[in-house]
Amino acid sequence: MGNFVETIKFSKEFILHPVSVSSIIPSSKNLSSAIMSMSNLENTETIFEFGCGTGSVTREIVKNLNKNAKLFSFDINPAFIKVIKRKYPQAKAINDSVENVTKYMDEYSVDSVDRIISSLPWAAFDDDLQEKLLDITYDVLRLNGEFVTYAYLHTKFMPSHKRFVKMLRKKFKTTIFSSVVWLNVPPAFIIKCRKD
């Protein structure tokens, strides 16, 4: 029942904010698990989650956290942050844009981040916003830190997605693409980058 309620809440937010939410239902367990298999959280101390939604990926992150790890989950949607605070008290849920993450790093004495796991709709962003958020992502990652995100299969040939991938490859020397996760609506693939 809980998952059904969260799906309805997520769908409602998609209808109200289609660009920032980007999908009509949350990521599937199959996609969330695939993200975890590429994220290697075993020795991770600090994780930033960008665009936590109602917590389908957050749930898997929390399950895979080591006991001393710190998780900060960001979303611009206050309804989603309310859900995260209730369901996942292990996460520091922050209702703000990724553009402001350094403010919270100062506030919580975080020098750099080991992993960034993003559910942001990169293909929906214009050139300037993609570049700005990607610069922030790269800058806050520690050396050898990893950035993991995903994209929907239907966006693969969109100019905005191609531009995003080009930016990733320019910024990160190591960029890996997963096979398609078909058991997700819509089907998706994962992108993992390492700051070398």
Inform me whether the pLDDT recorded for 7 exceeds 80: no
- The one-letter amino acid at 33: S
Convert the pLDDT of each residue in 40-74 to its tens digit.
898 899 999 999 999 999 999 999 999 899 999 99
Closest CA to 185 of 1, 22, 51: 22
Give the pLDDT confidence score for residue 3 in this predicted structure. Answer: 54
Give the pLDDT confidence score for residue 28 in this predicted structure. Answer: 87
Convert the pLDDT of each residue in 62-116 to its tens digit.
999 998 999 999 999 999 999 999 999 999 999 999 999 999 999 999 999 999 9
Residues 6+ apart with CB under 8 A from 37: none
Report the interhelical angle of 56-64 vs 78-87 (nearest 10°): 30
Taking the mean position of all CA atoms in its chain, how far away is CA 175?
16
CB atoms within 10 A of CB 130: 21
Report residue 34 as tokens. Answer: 């695939």
Q: Model pTM greater than 0.75?
A: yes
Convert the pLDDT of each residue in 131-189 to its tens digit.
999 999 999 999 999 999 999 999 999 999 999 999 999 999 999 999 999 999 899 99
Backbone angles phi, psi at 106, to 5 degrees: -65, -45
| Strand ranges, E, within 43-173 | 46-50, 70-75, 91-95, 113-118, 141-152
Give residue limits of the domains in the chain.
2-194
Convert the pLDDT of each residue in 9-22 to its tens digit.
444 444 343 444 44
CATH of the domain spanning 2-194, picked from 3.40.50.2300, 3.40.50.150, 1.20.58.480, 3.50.50.60: 3.40.50.150
How does residue 25 score in pLDDT terms, banded at 50, 70 and 90?
A: low
